[in-house]
């Protein structure tokens, strides 16, 4: 099982980035999948998760309308499109999958496999 993120970088406020997460060793069907971020000194938080039971996508208010979670099952790849980025979005971003929980709460404890993370820095 391996998850590899890419696409992070430095962008000015108002700009966009698209993160990718290539998955290998398992199928992305019928499991919880999500994107998380962790800023220095802060806890890891969910920014978008797909519930494995009903397929619904969750976004917290902080990113709703700006971030879009998508997937390409043929390529076994996840994407996070981030638009209108703000300095507060600066963090290390991780993709994750969960095999034990549905991911209903978009909380880190529901996920048991993680990528190595990719840095996103938004300058003001």
Q: What is the pLDDT of residues 44-102, one digit of tens each?
A: 999 999 998 888 999 999 999 999 999 998 999 999 999 999 999 999 999 999 988 88
Instruction: State the pLDDT at residue 58.
Output: 95
Which residues are CB-contacts of 107 (< 8 A; sequence separation ≥ 6)?
A: 46
Dihedral sign for Cα 3, 70, 68, 109, please.
Answer: negative
Instruction: State the pLDDT at residue 25.
Output: 86
Count of C-beta atoms within a 10 Å radius of residue 88: 12
pLDDT of 1 > 90? The answer is: no
Beta bridge partners of 58: 49
Q: Which of 39, 53, 56 is nearest to 119 (CA)?
A: 39
Task: Return d(Cα 47, Cα 50) in angstroms, integer.
Answer: 11
């Amino acid at each position: 099982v391996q998850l590899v993120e890419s696409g992070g970088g430095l962008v000015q406020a108002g700009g966009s980035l698209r993160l990718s997460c290539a998955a290998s060793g398992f199928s992305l069907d019928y499991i919880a999948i999500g994107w998380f971020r962790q800023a220095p000194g802060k806890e890891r938080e969910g920014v978008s998760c797909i519930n494995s039971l009903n397929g619904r996508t969750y976004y917290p208010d902080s990113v709703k309308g700006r971030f879009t979670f998508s997937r390409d099952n043929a390529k076994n790849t996840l994407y996070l499109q981030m638009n209108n980025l703000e300095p507060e979005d600066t963090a290390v971003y991780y993709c994750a999958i969960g095999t034990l929980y549905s991911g209903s709460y978009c909380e880190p404890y529901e996920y048991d496999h993680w990528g190595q993370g990719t840095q996103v820095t938004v300058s003001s």
